[in-house]
Amino acid sequence: MPGRPAPSRRTVLRGAALTPVAGLGLGACSPGGETVDSEPTAPVDLGAESEIAPGGAKLYRDHNVVVSRDAEGGLKAYSTICTHALCPINKLEGTKLICPCHGSEFDATNGEVLQQPATAPLKELPVQAKGGRIVAGPAPTA
């Protein structure tokens, strides 16, 4: 195109710097490969039970699970895959989960929607304390 300047040195450098990031993104989403953005399909050991105080909650981003503990010590676990458009939720403030994609908010103690656009509650997952560890996720199907 006439008059269009050649790419500046800065543009070229920036393009080169972005390449590894783009490559990583493609790898994580390869078709047919295991997706990282899903809830557990089998029980997973999340960590020490003592990490969650009564009335508190903890977000396990690597597993897309949030676990909360009620005042009596009971545990609840929910998938943190947003029910609006399936983004993994990456933020927990107190017991409020906030989706980065469109701002939906959920209550980590019961999975209920606090703020739309999501309208469906988070999916509850089985959870138990085993030997001082928190284990959450559905039992394997026989």
**Which of 43, 51, 56, 87 is in the footprint of ligand FES by CB under 6 A?**
87
**Which of 67, 118, 125, 136 is in the footprint of ligand FES by CB under 6 A?**
118
Supply the minimum distance, in Å, between the C-beta of residue 30 and ligand FES.
22
Alpha-carbon distance of 88 to 95, in angstroms, equals 16
Q: Check if the beta carbon of residue 76 is closer than 8 Å to that of residue 67.
A: yes
Burial of 47 (0-12, 13-18, 19+ CB in 10 A): middle
Residue 52 or 108 with smaller CB distance to ligand FES: 108
Burial of 119 (0-12, 13-18, 19+ CB in 10 A): exposed
Residue 99 or 136 with smaller CB distance to ligand FES: 99
**Count of residues interacting with ligand FES (CB under 6 A):** 11
Binding site for ligand FES (CB under 6 A): 82, 84-85, 87, 99, 101-104, 117-118
